[in-house]
Amino acid sequence: MTSIDELFHLMVERNTAGMVLTDRNGVILYINPRQLEASGYTLDEVIGKNPRIFRAGETAPEVYAAMWSAILSGHNWHGELTNRRKNGELCHELVHIAPIHDDEGNITHFFAIKEENVYAGLSHLLGGNLATIDPLTGLPNRAMMVAEIQSLLQATEKADEAFALMCLDLDAFHALNDRVGNLAADEVLSRIAVRLREAVRQSDAVARTGGNEFVLLLRSDPSEAMLEELSRRLITAIDTPVPLQGGHVTVTASIGIARYPLDGSDAESLLHCTQSAMSAAKSSGGDCVRFYTPSAEAQAHAFADLTSALRDVIARHELRLLYQPRINLKSGKISGLEALVRWQHPTEGLIEPGRFIPVAEETGLIVSLSEWVIGAVLAQQSRWRADGLAILPVGVNLSLRHFRSGDLPSVLTRLLATTGMPPECLELEISEGTMMRDPSQAFIMVDRIKALGVRLALDDFGTGLSSLSYLSRLNVDSIKIDKTFVRDITTNPVNASIVAAIIAMAHKLDRRVVAVGVESEGQAMQLRRHECDEIQGFYYAKPSPPEEIATLLVHGLSQQVRTEDAPSTEQTLLLVDDEPNILNALKRLLHREGYRILLATDGATALEVLAAHRVQVIVSDHRMPGMSGIELLSRVRDLYPHTRRIILSGYSDISLLTDAINRGAVWKFISKPWEDDALKAEIRHAFALRE
């Protein structure tokens, strides 16, 4: 049977693309038959040589400079090089180069894949026509789109017709490129190009005008309603996951629309307007559409100004750190903090990270920004220690780009040495999605960070695609459950089960669990019953500046954390009815029975009460706004199966009630108006059975 190594050798040897392997200095160690055939050289003539033997002197020096800058810094590079075969013929090649790292993250080799660019090679034979084609997607490029617009302008000027332009830019594409690599990112662009072409009419035109930017030319006087409908189709087409080897990715787009003659009278002004509208869509968070308006122009300028200002934000000392406490659910005390960065803009005031972090990701400034955050956190901890405060671990969110940079461990070593802080006071939080983009490289980086003594947390857990085998091998200290699961833990039996399973699994793997986004006592108590270790959220402590955190560290939380339930011997009864007079009458009737009585006027409140307190018996009306009694008791059955469930209602749809009883949602039905002694007897019986 053929081994994997033999299959891999055959795949490389018989590949239709040229392949070259060099050492770190560029000395050729291997070249496959296809590349030898394309170059005209023999194997003996190239092994041990530098790839510059292929150079034709036709490629601009800045292209090579950009190439070496990218690959020596550990990034992939993709571009076009004009080389020369041994017989002197020019050869235009699309080249993909990837650095290869050792276990320590050091670059040891470079691997290049080469494909002949037929378009570039034939352009001189066809009067330069193919020079207007984008070789990756086969779409017209910007030059050809400008020519198309100018031609249409001449035709419509006489006919007094209108047309529209759309500028479509894929959101956060640079970050995607970092995650999946150049080859996969190019595959995404190619597939998106096909979807765009299929979404428009045959008479319309689609061009790729930049790295991840497309322009659509829509003829035939498109109405605003038609443009809005087309925009929805485009967003749906783009949002559809793009299959890649080993998985899939999902991208979104910002779309801007400009119309002739309303927004401009020439090609360049129309393109400018549509790009301004697109920038306005991007500054609104992306994945949306904006028509060009003067306000869109202003919004685009504001977005550009924000991007420009962000470049010097560290030098101008405008970044601020807030800290949100994490709380131990057994002791009720602060057990750690998370650092959250804000931008104190001189004119706009405090800017939330949702506005500037995506810009930092796009521009690559995220690495220097997160390095500043780590340094500032360690410096603040040093000041707290000097003031005699206890040193708790502080979590810092780490971006994908920073996590994948090979010099992260050396940066951490330097910052820890500069501040004199112990490594265990720092906890780097890395999202599950980031870890799973390249698990093998993630394992290496995690081990290098852990070797320094720095703690690691897996953030946003439950939203990614990690498997149990990966999780068991990932040397992290804690797992942070994403707030989307915590938000409805008291009302959604499915998410409650998922959270319980995550906690149990993490504990089996000897990982601590932190639940994020806790906003009620019910959520906290539900998590405590599932043995969650720590919680973080606005209910107990909001993000606060360092001086307020210092006060909390000295005096403790103002909101007391309940760390235990009522005694198990206490009989707790929950009464639910949307009519206050009914609740008051029931309370008067039952208060001498010795029960601890809790009240709720709707289903949502009842579920929150159930989460916060151990309730043995619930008595609920059926016809209530928002959530019916049967729906409420159905959820109670799934969330708290040992709680006895009684419907007390004047509504008597026998089939509905029978079905609820047969499904186990309702234990007993009592009609209104009730007979006092009979009701008290049924409730006593329910408690007796519960015990």
Residue holding tokens 């392949």? 19
The C-alpha atoms of residue 421 and residue 423 are separated, in whole angstroms, by 6
Name the CATH topology of 572-690: Rossmann fold (3.40.50)
Mean pLDDT of 219-237: 85
Q: Where are the beta strands (DSSP E) in 636-690?
A: 644-649, 668-671
In sequence order, what are the residues at sequence separation of 6 or more whose Cβ sits closer than 8 angstroms to the Cβ of residue 44? Answer: none
Query: Cβ(381)–Cβ(553) under 8 Å?
Result: no
Whether 123 has a pLDDT exceeding 60, the answer reads no
pTM: 0.63
Whether 7 has a pLDDT exceeding 90, the answer reads no
pLDDT-based confidence at residue 106 (cuts at 50, 70, 90)? confident
Return the DSSP state at 389.
P
Query: 515 or 247, which is more confident?
Result: 515
The C-alpha atoms of residue 600 and residue 146 are separated, in whole angstroms, by 66
Whether 437 has a pLDDT exceeding 90, the answer reads no
DSSP 283-338: HTTSSSEEE--HHHHHHHHHHHHHHHHHTTTTTTT-EEEEEEEEEETTT-SEEEEE
- Give the CA distances from residue 615 to residues 22, 49, 296, 606, 645, in Å, rounded to whole numbers and listed in that order: 70, 79, 55, 11, 10
Residue in 22, 99, 557 with CA at minimum distance from that of residue 325? 557
- Give the CA distances from residue 590 to residues 41, 251, 649, 674, in Å, rounded to whole numbers and listed in that order: 97, 58, 17, 13
The C-alpha atoms of residue 28 and residue 315 are separated, in whole angstroms, by 43
User: What pLDDT, on a 0 to 100 scale, did the predictor assign at position 130?
Assistant: 44
Query: Cβ(683)–Cβ(668) under 8 Å?
Result: no
Give me the residues paired with residue 513 across strands: 479
Question: In the Cβ-directed half-sphere of 258, how many Cα atoms lie within 13 Å?
Answer: 28
User: What pLDDT, on a 0 to 100 scale, did the predictor assign at position 464?
Assistant: 57
User: What pLDDT, on a 0 to 100 scale, did the predictor assign at position 128?
Assistant: 43
Mean pLDDT of 510-536: 94
The C-alpha atoms of residue 99 and residue 122 are separated, in whole angstroms, by 31
What average pLDDT does the structure give for the chain?
A: 86
Residue holding tokens 């122009």? 297
Domain range summary for the chain, segments of one domain joined by +: 4-124, 133-308, 316-555, 572-690
pLDDT-based confidence at residue 81 (cuts at 50, 70, 90)? confident
Does CATH place domain 4-124 in 3.30.450.20?
Answer: yes
Residue in 222, 226, 244 with CA at minimum distance from that of residue 234? 226
Burial (Cβ within 10 Å: 0-12, 13-18, ≥19) of residue 642: exposed
CA angle 210, 308, 297 (to 5 degrees): 65
Name the CATH topology of 316-555: TIM Barrel (3.20.20)
The C-alpha atoms of residue 330 and residue 191 are separated, in whole angstroms, by 52
The C-alpha atoms of residue 685 and residue 646 are separated, in whole angstroms, by 11
Q: Where are the beta strands (DSSP E) in 346-486?
A: 349-351, 394-397, 426-431, 455-461, 478-481
The C-alpha atoms of residue 520 and residue 365 are separated, in whole angstroms, by 37
Residue holding tokens 């035939």? 220
Does CATH place domain 133-308 in 3.40.640.10?
Answer: no
Residue in 307, 308, 273 with CA at minimum distance from that of residue 290? 273
- Give the CA distances from residue 426 to residues 249, 381, 477, in Å, rounded to whole numbers and listed in that order: 32, 10, 12
* Whole-number percent of the chain with pLDDT over 70: 92
pLDDT digits (tens, 9 = 90+) for 290-311: 998 877 677 667 777 777 788 8
Mean pLDDT of 634-656: 90
Whether 126 has a pLDDT exceeding 60, the answer reads no
User: What pLDDT, on a 0 to 100 scale, did the predictor assign at position 568?
Assistant: 63
Residue holding tokens 């006919």? 159
